[in-house]
Amino acid sequence: MSLIKTGKQDLLTYKIYQTRDEMGKAAAAEAAEAIKKLLETKGEINMIFAAAPSQNEFLAALTADKSIDFTKINAFHMDEYIGLPADAPQRFANFLKRSLFDKVPFKSVNIIDCTAPDPEKECERYAALLKEYPCDIVCMGIGENGHIAFNDPHDADFDDPKTVKVVSLDEVCRQQQVNDGCFRSIDEVPKYALSLTIPALIAPEYVFCVVPAKTKADAVKNTLTGPIDESCPASILRRHKNAVLYLDMDSAALVL
């Protein structure tokens, strides 16, 4: 792997790779090591995954790793749109099925139901599952506005009492979904979603945060060098002793 630079900002370790592919492979290799280390002492572990094109290289490398015993992993995801039909290709559960859930034999796959008639009750159901299966590892990205999961700056709360909640999506977040090629126009992007909260995302022992592309350069800069507050939700990673931020040359352009 062509590691260009590594360092720490507060407690957060960051690693910059030459290419997006090298970044994804390096993150997957280190996530695999964490999985195997945890399984030395636990019969099963629980993991939360992000659904976004930014995760493609990471997920491809993870599913290709034959040293991981996926039959001992319960899988969860961190957010889901409200209002999309169950078979919509943009639905995050469907993205993860294509990229991850259908490729390896997880012990269980636990989906947020975006078609549930009562979103608040679905939040409670999923929160209860996460309480029953406390997460060991979270694999995430960062949005163009600095969000983690769908905790956009206006909805982010570092001390949120909830585990899962209904959120509204800001315009930057919704436009990102168009920029990523997931929707044809912002008018097609849902305005509301279900999301794990920030305390739920940083509670796990390990956080692997994979962030490629020049569109994320400002968010990366704010994450690493701005104040630790909700104006850049990802800045909370600087308070996590086992979080690693993986970057490529494009996303790291403003911090090199």
Q: What is the pLDDT of residues 16-69, one digit of tens each?
A: 999 999 999 999 999 999 999 999 999 999 999 999 999 999 999 999 999 999
Q: What whole-number distance in Å separates Cα of residue 109 and Cα of residue 76?
A: 6
Instruction: Write down the pTM of the prediction.
Output: 0.97
Instruction: Answer yes or no: CATH 3.40.50.1360 is held by domain 3-248.
Output: yes
Separation of alpha carbons 238 and 167, rounded Å:
24
pLDDT of 87 over the 80 cut: yes
Q: What is the pLDDT of residues 143-185, one digit of tens each?
A: 999 999 999 999 999 999 999 999 999 999 999 999 999 999 9
In the chain, what are the domain boundaries?
Answer: 3-248
Report d(CA 76, CA 9) in Å as an integer. 28
| pLDDT value at residue 114 | 85
* Tens digit of each residue's pLDDT (9 = 90 or more) over 237-249: 999 999 999 999 9
pLDDT band at 1 (very low <50, low <70, confident <90, very high): low
pLDDT band at 210, cuts 50/70/90?
Answer: very high
Cα 28 versus chain centre, distance: 13
Q: Does residue 242 contact residue 203 with C-beta atoms inside 8 Å?
A: no
Contact 246, 210 (CB under 8 A): yes
What count of other Cβ atoms lies within 10 Å of the Cβ of residue 79? 25
Q: Per-residue pLDDT averaged across 197-215, rounded? A: 98
Mean pLDDT of the 91-117 span: 96
Ranges of beta strands (E only) in the chain are 3-9, 12-17, 45-49, 73-77, 79-81, 108-110, 137-140, 164-168, 192-196, 206-211, 243-248
Question: How far apart, in Å, are the Cα atoms of 255 and each of 38, 150, 169, 225?
Answer: 32, 24, 27, 8
The pLDDT of 206-226, averaged and rounded, is 98
pLDDT of residue 176: 94
